[in-house]
Chain A
Amino acid sequence: GDSVTQMEGPVTLSEEAFLTINCTYTATGYPSLFWYVQYPGEGLQLLLKATKADDKGSNKGFEATYRKETTSFHLEKGSVQVSDSAVYFCALSDRGSSGSARQLTFGSGTQLTVLP
């Protein structure tokens, strides 16, 4: 079945440092790929997405490129801020077994802490 393997955390960086969170996936079809972010005490929010190979998703300074050849969707940001401290989840979307609704398969999440 589908699976997502995500870089283990926690990750601690200083403000303005470069961020990379690795994500690789296995899927039988042609999934869409997502990064979600979860701030303390809140639900998950979509950060960015890519629906086909070589697509680049971007939002709030974060970027990720759908690499079909390496089955990867690594998250990057050139200069992190304290407000970026959160848990980041990589996910893929594919049809469920019934074919009637897409399902998200999540990675285990990476805790990011940015220090001032």
Chain B
Amino acid sequence: ETGVTQTPRHLVMGMTNKKSLKCEQHLGHNAMYWYKQSAKKPLELMFVYNFKEQTENNSVPSRFSPECPNSSHLFLHLHTLQPEDSALYLCASSQEFLSGNLYNEQFFGPGTRLTVL
């Protein structure tokens, strides 16, 4: 595998289910991200992990719970979701530098298309 992979690619779940989305990056990066992409809305940054530590949580409801066990893997645990949570969930990774003004190119996975019934 190369780049950023996400599984599953499609997921349909009921509001009472518990499921998890998985992301794996094969690029040796040290930062990983979860984004939500809804129809007709800009991409929303949900969580940022830098060196396995969560550094950003953009007011995401607690029914979304991220987990980053190591710098290559990122999970998004889902429980008691709402229909409005249906969206494309994108994972990304980048190489962050501790100093300097270097840009970070984020590499994206193909996404998981989530439908909540």
Contacts and interface: CB of A to CB of B under 8 A. Distances in A.
Interface of A: 4, 30, 32, 34, 36, 41-46, 49, 51, 89, 93, 96-98, 100-109
24 contacts: A42-B111, A43-B108, A43-B110, A44-B43, A44-B90, A45-B108, A46-B105, A89-B43, A93-B103, A97-B56, A98-B55, A101-B48, A101-B50, A101-B55, A101-B56, A101-B94, A102-B96, A102-B103, A102-B104, A104-B45, A104-B106, A105-B45, A107-B42, A109-B42
Interface size classification for chain B: 20 to 34
Interface of B: 4, 6, 31, 40-43, 45, 48, 50, 53, 55-56, 90, 92, 94, 96, 101, 103-111
Given A102-B96, A104-B106, A43 B4 contact: yes
Nearest to A104: B106
A44 B40 CA distance: 16
A42 B9 CA distance: 10
A101 B103 contact: no
A49 B105 contact: yes
A96 B104 CA distance: 12
Given A93-B103, A108-B41, A100 B109 contact: no
A43 B88 CA distance: 9
Contacts of A51: 101, 103
Contacts of A103: 45, 48, 56
Contacts of B103: 32, 49, 51, 93, 102
A43 B109 contact: yes
Nearest to B113: A41
A52 to B, nearest CB: 9
